[in-house]
Chains A and B, each alone.
Chain A
Amino acid sequence: MKDVAALVGVHQTTVSLALRDHPGIPVATREKIREAAARIGYRPDPALDAFNFYRLSNHPIRSAPLMAFLSDQPSAAAFSGSAVHRDLYEGARAQAEKLGFVLERFLVGPGQLSAARLDHVLVARNIGCVLLGAFSLETAELPLDWSRLCALKIDSFHVQPRLDVVSANYQDAARQAVLRLRAQGRRRIGLVIARGDETRLENHAYAGFLVEHATTDWERTIPPFAIDDASAGPVRDWAEWLSRHRIDALVVAAPGWDGWLEQAGIQAPGIPVVRFRVRAERGQPGLVLNHREVGVRAVELLAMRWHTNQRGLPAFVSNTFTPVDWSDGSELGAPAVAEAGTRANARAGGR
């Protein structure tokens, strides 16, 4: 590297930055340095890089680089009260520590940090890595100085700017759910979604639901039932939707939906249900989205970007989906407690 520096007449740290395409170095200089490096056959040493990666991961150092986990939850209490956010954050934090980073949470939005203020904080504290953690529909954009940041979004497809996204594979979850119910001979399967989630996830659950039905008999296609707040209990159209479409099975992608069937006067085991779950828990069979693992994967990818100095908005967006698993609810050795009619599900198997 010093040879390259001497040849071009710059400091060796400039060479290092230029070869990692750092935006702080003028493009012309970057190109000049890259040419010189190619001419004398210098290239970065992955052995050294891997060693650093390994060293950092085994010996957390005092000046460990910081990663910011951003959330637009209205308060710390709201954040901790949400299993999704808690699991995302917990996974991200553990993996960050493992890889030699320190993860710190920042709440942004009305009543919290403004984007401008956050930008100052990130610069002042020399934070170069940010993770947008499952933003709500309240936030449409986050205007930060992205050119100096390595950044990724968890879910949050709807938030501008466009960044690479890491998410649980909702599409696959919906497909698996439909396959399970069809294996039981069910043909009038209804999809219940949380309106906010589907928007944040670009309708991925619905896309999976539709493609597994593989029908273009539009007249008979059952529209999804979108709910805004499942915990508030069934809304007026609920029982009507069930009967109008002669629903004989349900895929429920909305959290907090418990009790809706009973309140619509449906006796168990009338309608088998496959639900999406945030994590595997005993007595809660369903498709487990593993948000903790989403957090882990997001930090891995972000660390990779930081090490290869990929800052700024990506030229090409890529989206990474972590796997979804079926759980029969027998975690921790407890006996399976299947929901109404889902006993056969456990044996039906995934794809």
Chain B
Amino acid sequence: MDAGHSKRPTVKDVARLAQVHFTTVSLALRDHPRIPQATRDRIRRIAEEIGYKRDPLFMALVARRGGAQQPVPTPRMAFITNRSTREAFDAGVHLRGFYEGARLQAEAMGYSCDLLFAGPGAMTAEALSAHLKQTGTEGVIIGAFEPQLGTIEMDWSRYAVVKIDARYMAPVATFVSNDQMQVARLAHQRLRALGYRRIGMAINRHDEEATGGLFSAGCLVEQVGFPLSERVPPLSFGYNLRMDSAARQFREWVLKHRIDAVLCNWTSILDLAAAAGFRVPGDLACCCVCLTEPVPEGLAGVVQNHRAVGQKAAEALALSLKTGARGVPARPSFTYVEGYWRDGASAPAVV
């Protein structure tokens, strides 16, 4: 049973090393004038050395059990975005979903979850650190930082950190995301079951890189399961592509490979197909693998569950807070939340 005693240093460990009673340690760390200054310093040094610190959660508990009259502050989590304003944040449906899910789960567990803006022109790393310190926030969710907006240089070691998306941006942390491989696989499987035999995936290179190639992984592993004559290579759109050149590329690809159904991560797939001169679903079936509720009328595809991602992130963070884990884990684990299929007029069953 000794395995359970290895983790957090306690006040008693400090007391043993300092050769004082543990109540003395407690008083010294609270700077009680009755303890000689030299002793206070010595005890504080030892506490620091072995990494003992008072846990704000327990302090809150003790304060309340002691019948303290002042209200106990709610423990906090922070959801940090690198967009700069609430308006800009709300414009991202996925961001709103992540935050809502995280906030609801945090509140269900009794935490608050503040939304903090660390984008260009908003909070700097210093301001952010100061805010977290001032509010006693020990857990942060790095909420889907967007690479093009740049990141902030923070010392994350003092916090429990969970990251949503942006797997390849610093810091390395426990990571939660939509399961892009599964949504690509699911779309292939469902289109196949609906009777389509030449299924192509069109993906934005930028999104592909942000997810570490997970859309392609899903696409390739499904395509190799099809007969050789029914496999279609994915189309990868370049960076900063304008609609007219995207439409041209799309048209050439569809015609060259005689594609009967397309899956794409753009919600504007129907506009793209129209711009490329295809009638949907007459000429070509289309589905979007990045739908969010409420799903646009008539568009088939895979609905991604941004709220569930936020919820899992808050849960993972609570787990770190509870177990006392702080800082950047050397070897983080990844959690992916699966999406679900939604039928729609843009991809009817083949008769």
Contact = CB atoms under 8 A, between A and B. Distances in A.
Interface stretch (A4-12, A110-118, A142-150, A214-222): A214-222
A211 B108 CA distance: 39
A319 B109 contact: no
B60 interface: yes
Given A94-B3, A316-B338, A320-B334, A50 B315 contact: no
Contacts of B332: 323
B350 interface: no
A146 B206 CA distance: 41
B188 to A, nearest CB: 12
B233 A207 contact: no
Contact of B58 (A47, A98, A218): A47
A321 interface: yes
B220 A60 contact: no
From A171, A216, A308, residue with most partner B Cβ within 10 Å: A216
A323 B333 contact: yes
Given A50-B58, A60-B4, A221 B338 contact: no
Interface stretch (A51-59, A67-75, A248-256, A332-340): A51-59
17 contacts: A44-B108, A45-B64, A46-B57, A47-B61, A50-B58, A50-B321, A60-B4, A210-B221, A218-B224, A218-B228, A297-B333, A316-B337, A316-B338, A318-B312, A321-B335, A323-B332, A325-B331
B322 A54 contact: yes
A203 interface: yes
B340 to A, nearest CB: 8
A143 B94 CA distance: 36
B337 A216 contact: no
Given A171-B217, A325-B331, A304 B318 contact: yes
A210 B58 contact: no
Given A44-B109, A210-B220, A304-B315, A318 B335 contact: yes
A316 B111 contact: no
Interface in B210-229: 213-214, 216-218, 220-221, 223-224, 228
A19 to B, nearest CB: 8
A297 B329 CA distance: 13
Contact of A210 (B217, B312, B336): B217
Contacts of B35: none
A322 B331 CA distance: 8
Interface residues of A, number: 48
Nearest to A164: B335
Contacts of A43: 107, 110
Contact of B4 (A44, A49, A98): A98
A206 B338 contact: no
Interface in B292-351: 305, 308, 312, 315, 318-319, 321-323, 331-338, 340
A47 B221 contact: no
B319 A304 contact: yes
Interface in B90-117: 107-111
A97 B7 CA distance: 13
B220 A97 contact: no
B75 A47 contact: yes
A203 B111 contact: no
Given A211-B216, A216-B231, A322 B333 contact: yes
B211 to A, nearest CB: 11
B143 interface: no
A214 B57 contact: no
